[in-house]
Amino acid sequence: MAVATATARAVGELLLSHWNAPTTEIRFKGEVDLVTNADLAAEALAIRLLRAAFPDHTIIAEESAQPTPPSRDCWYVDPLDGTTNFAHRYPHVAVSIALARDGEVILGVVHDPLRDEQFAAARGAGASFNGRPIRVSDTPTLDRALLATGFPYDRRQRASFYVRYLERFLQSGQCVRRGGCAALDLCYVGCGRLDGFWEWNLKPWDTAAGALIVAEAGGDVSDFEGRRFSPHGTQVLASNGHIHGEMLHELRHLLPHDAPSSSG
């Protein structure tokens, strides 16, 4: 945990230096998926710091992810979650770092460098915000819940599909936010700023840390049918627990046979 939190903070400081720079270099990996020079520099720093401390561990990071079998101990690193936000100077970004042992996530850290907010959790030891314990909200019903979601990179091709889910929760929840940084959305569920979150086709480096933070803060995390959450799955549903059943009920009515694949 000491290495993870220090690494997240160091990477956050590097991102701040890029945030305050006059220009940001941007290139597109796909139709709407972009990467900046800040992503690449931040990832290089995170890998260097983690590898110096744990040379035998596998490190899987967003910009250099390799399809190699992980070792017993595997780090998932998103050096800049919210790249589009960063490129547009929209202040909602984070560094996300998680450690899995034998396939189970046991540690997670999410650091917001712009607000100097750090969320952390260790399996069985609870979750914290800037060193203080956190708990999910006590909002009892979906109609009183503030929710969040995001839209995957195939959104131009499948916009109507994702809008069906948004429309459903606009009707059944109190309101919906779309922040563009899944790691922070999950942490906001963990600390009670949000009551629930759902999204398709996130990657392990997006969700591994945040999902553990929600669970250790007393919330529930699953797929859209209530099965145990996997960071390698195509669906994530996180909530304060009280509204989880209601959210599952809404999602199950929408689940189609033409659901997006994990490559979406």
Q: Which of 99, 133, 167 is the last residue of a domain?
A: 133
CATH number at residue 40: 3.30.540.10
What digits encode the pLDDT tens for the residues 127-138?
Answer: 999 999 999 999
83 shares its domain with 159:
no
What is the overall mean pLDDT for the chain? 90
Residue at 187 is within a domain: yes
Residue that is last in its domain, among 101, 133, 165: 133
At residue 263, the pLDDT reads 38
Answer yes or no: are the C-beta atoms of 115 and 192 closer than 8 Å.
Answer: no
Q: What is the pLDDT of residues 156-201, one digit of tens each?
A: 667 888 899 999 999 999 999 999 999 999 999 999 999 999 999 8
pLDDT of residue 155: 57
Whole-number pLDDT of residue 114: 97
When mean pLDDT is compared over 70-74, 97-101, 149-153, 154-158, the highest value belongs to 97-101
Note whether residue 259 is domain-resident: no
* pLDDT top residue among 263 and 253: 253
pLDDT value of residue 242: 98
pLDDT in tens, 39-54: 889 999 999 999 999 9
Write the CATH number for 206: 3.40.190.80
**Region label for 163, one of left (φ > 0), alpha (ψ between -120 and 50) or beta (otherwise):** alpha
Domain boundary among 133, 153, 188: 133
Q: How much is the average pLDDT of 81-94?
A: 93
**Do 122 and 163 sit in the same domain of this protein?**
no
8-30 residue pLDDT tens: 999 999 999 989 876 566 655 44
Q: Looking at this protein, which amino acid is placed at residue 264?
A: G
**Of residues 5 and 31, more confidently modeled:** 5
pLDDT in tens, 99-119: 999 999 999 999 999 999 999
- Are 111 and 183 within one domain? no
Provide the domain limits for residue 115.
2-133
Q: Kindly state whether residues 6 and 129 are assigned to the same domain.
A: yes
First to last CA, the chain: 32
pTM, full prediction: 0.91
Q: Based on the domain organization, do 44 and 109 belong to the same domain?
A: yes
Average pLDDT over residues 62-82: 81
Is 260 domain-assigned? no
